[in-house]
Structure 1
Amino acid sequence: MSLVWTLIATFLYAEIVVVLLLVLPIASPYKWNRLFKSKFLAMLAQQAHLYFFLIMGVLILFLLDAIREMRKYSSHEAGGHEHLNVEMQHSMRLFRAQRNFYISGFAIFLVLVIRRLVTLISAQANLLAQSEASMKQAQSATAAARTLMAEKSTEKAKEATEDSTLTELNELRKKVQELTSDLNREKKDKEALKSQAESLNKEYDRLTDEYSKLQKKITISDSSSGKGGEKDD
């Protein structure tokens, strides 16, 4: 194998390793995307299209050369007068042309596969980042909704408490008014009883005075009647 085809075969083996690394679950899409966006690869990405078309052009040229060699040696018909060594050389060159065709063809195919895998991994990483951001927004919106619901329930509880407090205050006011009216009634009854007691005391004093006056009269009349009897004796 010549030096050029050795380099192409080495490039093919490196492509196989890269494809296996990208396909196998060795690293997450975040890590691959971080690696793709690193400073070194970012510098290469500025001219990635140029490198891609350059590599594809070189590989296509070698693929066309391999096809030409295949057609050249496959169309050769060995005559009976030719030596066996010449026929073996033609067969060997045809085998090398076919080998080079497969090497260059698979190299071109894996270049396209690697480019597609890098694009898909970057898109997957972006989608995962967007989904995480959307999930965080949804969680924050849910938390805000729960906070609003809690505040509304708290306000409703406060309103219910205020309503119950107002009801209790109204009931207490009614009870205070009833007690005030009862107290006024009791005061009026007490004043009436007091006035009745005063009138009874006055009547009692009057009766006592009359009784004392009558008692004095009786005493005077008894004394006067006693003196008249003594005189008669």
Structure 2
Amino acid sequence: MSLVWTLIAGFLYAEIIVVLLLVLVGNPYRWNRFFKSKFLAMMAQQAHIYFFLIMGVLVLFLLEAIREMRKYSSHEQSGEVHLNVEMQHSMRLFRAQRNFYISGFSIFLVLVIRRLVTLISAQANLMAQSEASMKQAQSATAAARSLMEDKATDKAKEATEDTTLNELNKLRERVQQLTADLNREKKDKEAVKSQAESINREYDRLTEEYSKLQKQITIGGAAGNKDD
């Protein structure tokens, strides 16, 4: 195997290892972080150039392998009878077929790796978006719960305020009733007091009249005794 095809075969083996790593190792977050590293970010600016360059080289070697396959296949069908020449042509045909498979699988794995990188990056972005959506949904649920709790607290406060207002109204009505009773009792007391004062005045007046009558009786009795 020539040096060029040795390099292409090594590139194929490296592609196989990369595909296995992308499929079996790690999670999308780590791969996406690795893809967005500074080194790969610098290379990503020229990724299209590298991609088309590698694809162009591999396609050229693939066409070269196809040409050699057709060349040695047609030469084999020409009916050469010498054994050494036939073995050389068979060996060259085998090499051409080997080179064809190496270059073909290299092109195929380049496309697979590119597609895997795109899918892993998209999956990581989708997972990040889903986590952000879940966090937003959880925050919205928490906000709704707190709002419902606030509403329930407000309703409880309103009910408590209504109960307090009802009690205050009842107490006011009770105070008004007691005030009315007190005013009525005061009026009754004043009426009784005024009646007692009038009775006392009447009693004093009768006492004075009685004293006057008693004096008159005493004076009149003394005058009668003198006449006798």
TM-score (norm 1): 0.84
TM-superposed deviation, 1:147: 3.2
Instruction: Encode CA deviations 1:12-51: one digit per residue, 9 max, x unaligned.
Output: 1100110011111x22212111111111111111111111
Verify: 1:98 aligned to 2:118, yes or no: no
Equivalent residue, structure 2, for 1:173? 172
Number of the residue aligned with 1:9 = 9
Give aligned pairs, total: 227
Structure 2 residue aligned with 1:23? 23
Matches within 5 A, 1:37-186: 37-75=36-74, 76-77=76-77, 79=79, 81-83=81-83, 85-186=84-185
What is residue 35 of structure 1 aligned with on the other side? 34
Shift of 1:78: 6.7
* Closer, same or farther: CA 129–81 of 1 in aligned 2, 3 Å: closer
- Alignment-derived partner of residue 194 in structure 1: 193
Alpha-carbon RMSD across the aligned residues, in angstroms, is 2.6
8 Å Cα contact 1:78-1:87 kept in structure 2: no
Q: Equivalents in 1 of 2:17, 2:100: separation in Å? A: 20
**CA deviation digits over 1:42-81, x for unaligned, max 9?**
1111111111111111111111111122222223137474
Same amino acid, percent of matched pairs: 81
- CA 1:80–1:87 in structure 2 vs 1: closer, same or farther (change >3 Å)? closer
- Alpha-carbon spacing, 1:196–1:143, altered in 2? closer, same or farther (3 Å): same
- Output one character per residue of 1:133-188: Cα deviation in whole Å (capped at 9) or x when no partner: 22233233333333333333333333333332222222222111111110010001
CA positional deviation for 1:98: 1.3
Which letter does structure 2 place at the counterpart of 1:29?
P
Asked whether the 8 Å contact 1:33–1:125 carries over to 2, the reply is yes
Structure 2 SS opposite 1:186: helix
**Alpha-carbon distance between aligned partners in 1 of 2:19 and 2:185, rounded to the nearest angstrom:** 105
Separation in 2, partners of 1:32, 1:192: 104
SS in 2 for 1:27: coil
- Equivalent position SS for 1:113: helix
State how far apart, in whole Å, the 2-side matches of 1:50 and 1:152 are: 62
TM-score by length of 2: 0.86
Contact (CA 8 Å) 1:32, 1:121: kept in 2 or not? yes
Gaps (5+ residues) in structure 1?
A: none
Amino acid aligned to 2:126: L
| SS at 2:59 equivalent | helix
Letter in 1 for 2:121: S
5+ residue gaps, structure 2, are none
1:109-131 deviation line (CA, Å, top 9, x unaligned) = 00000000001111111122222
Q: Which letter maps to 2:91?
A: M
SS for the counterpart of 2:186 is helix
Of stretches 6-15 and 120-129 in structure 1, the one that deviates more from structure 2 is 120-129
Structure 2: how far apart are the matches of 1:151 and 1:200? 72
Q: Residue 68 of structure 2 contacts residue 93 of structure 2 at CA under 8 Å; is this kept in 1?
A: yes
